[in-house]
Amino acid sequence: MFEQINGGVCAAKGFKAAGVHCGVKAGSKPDKNDLALILSEKECAAAGTYTLNRVKAAPVYVTMEHLEDGVAWGVVANSGNANACCPMSHENAVAMAKAAAAVTGREQSDFVVCSTGVIGQTINIAAIEAGLPKVAEKLAAGEAASDAAARAIMTTDTAKKEVALQAKIGGKTVTMGGIAKGSGMIHPNMGTMLCFITTDCAITHEMLEDALRDVVTKTFNRVTVDGDTSTNDTCVVLANGMAGNELVEWKNEDYETFRSLLMELCTELARKIAADGEGASRLITCTVSGARNEETAERLAKAVVGSSLVKAAMFGADANWGRVICAMGYSKAPFRPEYVDIRFGSAAGDILVCEQGAAVAFDEEQAKKILTQSEIVIDINVNEGEGTAECWGCDLTYDYVKINGDYRT
């Protein structure tokens, strides 16, 4: 239904992006971008979702304030420092917006502001202010690159997260692109990361907000890496209307196509985040079917992919399905254990390991072969209804502890 293309956040008409190294974090490598700027040629309808952590970083509050009117022109973001729980955090978040406005000829309220990195250390705002003219020069020189911006927001990520798709809406070709970062401190509660989405679709702020909130619930909110919800989580979508389609202002067929396009894009980014969990070697997809309703299915699937014991078993390629049904049991979701069937699957095949809540004889060697693949599916049928849900996580490896044991120092 949708065509995947190149270009990320620069794929949609009228959007440019760039990234540079400015030295936000002391001692950072000069070849690691840490400052990104995304800019539209026209004013955009804008919508955002944010962390549910009670402790929110200053950029989250500034962005929420800037998007109260439902419009924006661009995004300024840095890695290397979260600008959270530190002196001058609010003032420095505002200063980032002011600096972005100064180099683009816009107003400070026109910008989404995002930061990611270490919590509790005052951000090097001077480095950002000195770096933004360099980013603006790249935009003006036509050196716009979604890739550079995507890499600028990476922290412990080992791979950039970037997707672009096209679809027909109202007889016009509409393009949507997104970049995201997320590897650790990832747990379902909003967007669990930073994510910036651009589209040239003509759509109202109200319809954009409804679509984003619906999609985030079924994509980014279904990812968990380590059970920790960040202080900085932000997901923002900007729509500048340059595709020329008839304005989407009602929940009609065009709206449903737009929502489906957004769902596809966010699903791809969510999977990339789960696969790149800190220290991860395997992407785990848990699919629950036959539940009493979708909410029940989601709660069961989240409990399974969030279980440290399940994650450790997947790292060891151990078909320990008892850990799966145990996680289901403490999820507080209603189900009948004696009805549950569990299968493990991957590109190497699939195998039934539990039927009607009890053990079945299976080939351990075949199971191990299945579980040594890079993507594993835990397929659960509760056999009670029509509810289904899919959630994503990763295995728990020795490297997760290594990465987080000295993250600050």
Closest C-alpha to 187, from 308, 334, 330 = 308
> What angle (nearest 5°) sits at the alpha carbon of residue 45, between those of residues 39 and 48?
85
Look at the chain and count its residues.
409
Give how far Cα 392 sits from Cα of 202, 223, 304, Å.
31, 5, 9
Packing angle, helices 308-315 and 294-306, rounded to 10: 60
Helices (H), strands (E): how many in the chain?
11, 15
For residues 340-371, one letter each, b for 16 or more C-beta atoms within 10 angstroms of the residue's C-beta and e for the rest, the string is bbbbbbbeeeebebbeeeeeeebeeeebeebb
Number of other CB atoms surrounding residue 375 within 10 Å: 15
> Which region holds residue 7: left if phi is over 0, alpha if psi is between -120 and 50, else beta?
left
156 has catalytic annotation? no
| Residue 372: both structure tokens together | 């040594």
Per annotation, catalytic residue among 49, 192, 198, 234: 192
| Residue 349: both structure tokens together | 């095949």
Packing angle, helices 89-104 and 125-140, rounded to 10: 20
Residues annotated as catalytic (active site), given as ranges:
192
